[in-house]
Amino acid sequence: MRCPQCSGSDTRVLDTRTPDERTVKRRRQCATCGFRFSTAERPVREEIFVRKRCGGVEEFDRQKIAASVQCALKKGPCRKAEVDALVDEIIAKLLAENPKCVSTDRIGDEVLRALRRFDEMAYVRYLSVHRAFANLSDFRENILGGVENDGDTV
Ligand SMILES: [Zn+2]
């Protein structure tokens, strides 16, 4: 693990934490410049597949989820760490249900649920983009139902 500050390759682990059972975080210090930074280890999830609405299957890609969340939040005052936390939460929820395979619809639902709690405008923005193929009454139901109750149906 190279130092992000000076690229030195000699770093020392100061502290190891496991914030959840899927993650190991280490606080490190560079022996060359003294810079302190954190690293996180997570299992590589290459075995997870995503079922697409059209019937195809693709590899699970955290970046895609992060990008769509970030896109929905673009006008909000949110920071990268917050987006990361939100994406972690979405993925943990999805994988708790089925650790092998998720559908694009389920991803969309979880992203919506997380955004709704986080930023109302981002929620509406995401909904308008990702439910573009759904009919209008469905769209209206999602907006109205979503704002008024915190139920489990999206
Ligand atoms: Zn360094």
**pTM across the whole model:** 0.54
Measured in degrees and rounded to the nearest 5, phi and psi for residue 7 equal: 65, 10
pLDDT value at position 28? 95
Q: In terms of domains, do 80 and 23 share one?
A: no
Instruction: Please give the Cα distance from 131 to 140 (Å, whole number).
Output: 11
Residues 112 and 80 grouped into a single domain? yes
Range of the domain at 133: 47-148
Cα 94 to middle of ligand 1, angstroms: 37
Using alpha carbons, select from 111, 103, 89 the residue that is nearest to residue 23. Answer: 89
User: Cα(115) to centroid of ligand 1, in Å?
Assistant: 37
Confidence at residue 13, expressed as pLDDT on a 0 to 100 scale: 93
- Per the DSSP assignment, residues forming a β-bridge with 39 are 26
- Per DSSP, 58 falls in state E
Contact 19, 25 (CB under 8 A): yes
pLDDT at position 153, please?
Answer: 47
By the CB criterion, residues less than 5 angstroms from ion ligand 1 are 3, 5-6, 8, 30, 32-33, 35
Does residue 102 lie in a domain region? yes
Residue 37 falls within a domain, yes or no? yes
76 in a domain, yes or no? Answer: yes
pLDDT for the residue 45? 55
Give per-residue pLDDT as tens, 32-71: 999 999 998 877 655 678 888 778 888 888 888 888 888 8
Ligand 1 centroid–CA 16 distance in Å is 19
Closest alpha carbon to 140 in 126, 150, 127, 122:
127
pLDDT given for residue 46 in this prediction? 52
Residue 1: inside a domain:
no
Number of domains in the chain: 2
Residue 25 · residue 47 · CB < 8 Å: no
* pLDDT score, position 6: 96
Residues of the chain with pLDDT under 70: 44-47, 75-78, 131-154
